[in-house]
Amino acid sequence: LWALCPSLQDQCDKSSETSKLNLSVTYKLPTFTSDFPIQNMVTQDGIIYVGAVNRIYALAPNLTKLS
């Protein structure tokens, strides 16, 4: 297949901008922990509904419990 396209290069072009990845940045991400195994999740009107074994949790967008 390569013989059909001799003009193709086997390397990508060098990035025009030097990578500025900073691995020392830490993020505080919202979390939710269920007391039971989670089986399903769905969102409606900005509320996150989490279905666990014999439980349904309603969560705000920041993952705090509404019920």
| Integer Cα distance of 55 and 39 in angstroms | 10
pLDDT at 34: 94
Query: Cβ contacts of residue 4 below 8 Å, gap of 6+?
Result: none
Which amino acid, 9?
Q
Smallest Cα–Cα separation from 48: which of 26, 35, 29, 67? 67
Residue corresponding to tokens 């989670």: 38
Would you place residue 20 in the very low, low, confident or very high pLDDT band (cuts 50, 70, 90)? confident
pLDDT at 10: 66
Q: Is the pLDDT at 57 greater than 90, yes or no?
A: yes
Task: Say what the pTM is.
Answer: 0.60
Domain map (residue ranges) of the chain? 36-67
Q: Is the pLDDT at 27 greater than 90, yes or no?
A: no
